[in-house]
Amino acid sequence: MPSFSGRTGVWRRDLFRLLTSGTFAAAIEARAQPARVPVVGLLSSRSPQDAAYLVSQFESGLYEAGFDATRRIRVEARWAEGHYDRLPKLASELVGRRVDVLAAVGGEPSVVAAKQAVGTTTPFVFIAGRDPVELGLVESLRHPGGNATGVVIHTLVLGPKRLDLLRQVTPNTKVFGALINSKFPESPFAKRDLEEAASSLGLGIVFAYASSASQLKPAFVTLVTQGASALVISPDPFFDMARHQIVALAAELRLPAIYHHREYAIDGGLMSYGIDLRAVYRTLGSYAGKIVMGAPPASLPVQRLDKIEFVINLRTARSLGLQVPDALIGFADEVIE
């Protein structure tokens, strides 16, 4: 009978060389390593505490795109907390972390900083309050081109409607006030629209400015000193972050006020009229997820989301001695009794 002892010895030597070779060891190590978890960078002008409910909606959008407990994805966020000058550095940090896609939220300062940081390589999704073509973010809404896409909302242009709603609740008001953040790039457009709306309605309007928490109360006092007896809050991420203080100041000075997001009315503000941000963040999260899954940003049209929420807080109206017209109550999406 033939002997295989010699051949067995050769086979064993070959197997030993294979087991100890770099190629085989690298293959074993690669198989042992867990798969890399994709990372989405989130750049926001707001604070993590203020925007927690919106981040939750953003994550829901990621899950809608196909990520869950078994197919994982991670969100790494940077927060400017109302200090817009910090955004360029924060955006560069996220790009340096080699995120798979960068999402910019919280107004134009965040979007512009992200755009400058990503260049033409890192995929980029945004929420824009003005025309993204005009801002140089995309080539067109239907065909974005390049490495960017996102959502456009027009909350700024709703200022005249907010003024009109407030006028209907305070028909004896002759001079309205408006709170503006002069450091927010979109504020000049909001101010212009409010001035034109007040003029067309035959109303007076005065403005005060605040860009830090310490400036809020002096700004309110200035408005009252100038004769304002009702107030429009201009859209601004810093104001959103400081909404508890703003709502408290309006109550203290007995100023009926209208705001741009429902959270103000939930927290005790008189009324809010603005875009449903929860749906906006969820859509943006879905876009970010699709891009991580392999969809080119240029293939995802910029979405225009214009769902408006009108919320009235009747408890606050009663505390201010105001009678809200039945027609407005019927028009509201939500009434807080």
Domain boundaries, the chain: 39-154+277-306, 156-275+309-336
Predicted confidence (pLDDT) at residue 73 exceeds the cutoff of 50: yes
pLDDT surpassing 90 at residue 154: no
Q: Is residue 139 predicted with pLDDT exceeding 90?
A: yes
pLDDT 10s digits, 224-250: 999 999 999 999 999 999 999 999 999
User: Is pLDDT above 90 for 1?
Assistant: no
103 has which bridge partners?
A: 42, 125
- Using pLDDT thresholds of 50, 70 and 90, give the confidence band for residue 7: low
Residue positions counted in the chain:
337
Choose the CATH number for 156-275+309-336 among 3.40.50.2300, 3.40.1790.10, 3.40.50.150, 3.40.50.300: 3.40.50.2300
In this structure, the dihedral spanned by the alpha carbons of residues 103, 106, 111 and 112, taken in order and rounded to 10 degrees, is -150
State the pLDDT at residue 155. 76
Closest C-alpha to 187, from 232, 226, 150 = 232
3-state secondary structure 265-312: HHCCCCEEEEECHHHHHHHHHHHHHHHHCCCCHHHCCCEECCCEEEEE
Angle at 310 between CA 309 and CA 315, to 5 degrees: 135
Q: Is the pLDDT of residue 292 over 90?
A: yes
Query: Residue 290 pLDDT > 90, yes or no?
Result: yes
- Please name the fold of domain 39-154+277-306: Rossmann fold (3.40.50)
- Global pTM reads 0.85
- What's the CA gap between 100 and 112, in Å, rounded? 19
Average pLDDT over residues 120-134: 92
Interval 13-39: pLDDT, tens: 554 454 445 554 554 454 555 678 999
Indicate the burial class of 150 (C-beta count within 10 angstroms; 0-12, 13-18, 19 or more): buried
Statement: residue 4 has pLDDT above 50: no
pLDDT band of residue 71 (cuts 50, 70, 90) is confident
Query: Looking at residues 84-103, what average pLDDT do you find?
Result: 96
Amino acid at 62: L
Task: Give the least confident one: 6-10, 45-49, 62-66, 280-284.
Answer: 6-10
39-154+277-306 matches 156-275+309-336 in fold: yes
% of the chain beyond a pLDDT of 70: 89
- pLDDT tens digits, residue range 46-65? 999 999 999 999 999 999 99
Is 175 exposed, middle or buried, given 0-12, 13-18 or 19+ CB atoms closer than 10 A? Answer: middle
